[in-house]
Amino acid sequence: MDEQESGPFALWRHTHGFEARGHATLVRDTVQYREPLGPLGALAHLLFVERTMNRIFDFRREEIARALNTGASASPVLHVASDAP
């Protein structure tokens, strides 16, 4: 698990899971985060944070698939949970 000790988020936990699927492995990222600054952080979430997070993990999924030379059907799973109010 990756956990932010200091940085831009009030909370950041990123866990990596791996699950055997026959001759393949399902890669699962779970991200739990919370923006700082209460209502201002919630507004930032709506305006750009969620979209940026999705782009980051879309890139990660594509790079894993490319590195393993797999197709789109072998895409890892991403679960993002925001604690934003």
- Rounded CA gap, 72 and 62, in Å? 8
Tokens, residue 44: 């930032």
**Which pLDDT score, from 0 to 100, does residue 52 have?**
92
| pLDDT per residue as tens digits for the range 51-77 | 998 898 889 888 887 887 765 544 455
Q: Is the pTM of this model over 0.75?
A: no
Whether 21 shows a pLDDT value over 60: the answer reads yes
**Which pLDDT score, from 0 to 100, does residue 85 have?**
43
pLDDT, averaged across the chain? 81
User: 23-42 in b/e burial notation, b at 16+ Cβ within 10 A?
Assistant: eeeebebebbbbbeeeeebb
Name the residue ranges covered by the structural domains of the chain.
Answer: 2-82
Longest dimension (CA), the chain: 46
